[in-house]
Amino acid sequence: MAANRCDGPTTPPETSNKLVHRRDRDELAQVIRRYTNDEITAFAFDEQLNAFRNSPDSAVCFVSNALWFFYDDCTDHLAVLSKTEWDFFQRLLLLLESDGVAETVVSRRWSFTQLVALAALIGFGWVAMRLGWGYHLLAAAMPFGAVSIGIAWFREATAAADPCDPLAFPFTGFAELRAVYKAAAFKKTPYPRRIALRQIRSPLLTRTIQLRTYVVWLMLSPIVLLFQTLPIRQTQTRVVPFGPKQPQPDGPVARPSGPEAT
């Protein structure tokens, strides 16, 4: 994993297991198709996904958690997906129908932004000691909130690039994607026109909610700054194809025998 040039050393990576649990994969794929076919709404979708988030299968865990970002858990609604998001759903279904596993690497790194967050937190502590405890500290915290928001934006802009092609993710590239398509005999479902014009809430309401979020962030910035003093946690996931139905892009590989086959 590439690190920002300002970063310090990272902690050792954590990787997932390589168990394939076919029943969990098939049941999760069925839940996803029920949602994209408008058979269930977001609330039911979220409830059914919860059953898979602690699966022993790394691919099932990855898919069920990745889907959380593509529906609203405050307003019930039918599937609302852009063409790009729909294609991502199809690749997740492909992963579930294949014998590939999701390998996740988690790293933690330090950068100068932790020092900035610590300095801002100390600054707020000094202001709080001068002004005394009270609701007025919510207003006093807002300038430090601007620092916190700036740290978040900087970290997002300088985050290490994912080695996977965004249009093929979670597969590493189109060669691997084509190989897995062929091995799994997967048929992609075309993007339905009925979804194209849907929206969960109006653009005005969306902007209002975003503004409210930033106001709360500004007022409660000391809490956010405290977390921003901790090491930055980055997660990268890629698919590792294996098994007789999963040839590598340059040819088939033999399925291992014995306990390691699972």
Per-residue DSSP letters for 92-143? HHHHHHSS-EEEEEEEEE--HHHHHHHHHHHHHHHHHHHH-SSTHHHHHTHH
Q: Dihedral, CA atoms, 82, 83, 84, 86, nearest 10 degrees?
A: 90
| CA dist., res. 143 & res. 133, Å (int) | 17
The pLDDT of residue 182 is: 83
Nearest to 60 by CA among 105, 106, 95, 14: 95
Encoded tokens for 256: 């291992």
The pLDDT of residue 3 is: 35
Q: Contact, 61 vs 51, CB < 8 A?
A: no
Query: What is the percentage of the chain residues whose pLDDT exceeds 70?
Result: 83
C-alpha Rg value of the chain to the nearest Å: 22
The pLDDT of residue 149 is: 96
The pLDDT of residue 248 is: 38
The sign of the torsion formed by the CA atoms of 226, 232, 235, 236 equals positive
The pLDDT of residue 81 is: 93
| CA dist., res. 230 & res. 234, Å (int) | 12
The secondary element (H helix, E strand) that includes residue 33 is helix 22-36
Nearest to 176 by CA among 59, 86, 98, 83: 98
Nearest to 58 by CA among 25, 26, 102: 102
DSSP 8-state symbol, 259 = G
| pLDDT less than 50: residues of the chain | 1-17, 243-262
- The SS3 call for residue 251 is strand
Encoded tokens for 181: 């398509």
| CA dist., res. 238 & res. 144, Å (int) | 37
| CA dist., res. 214 & res. 224, Å (int) | 12
The pLDDT of residue 239 is: 80
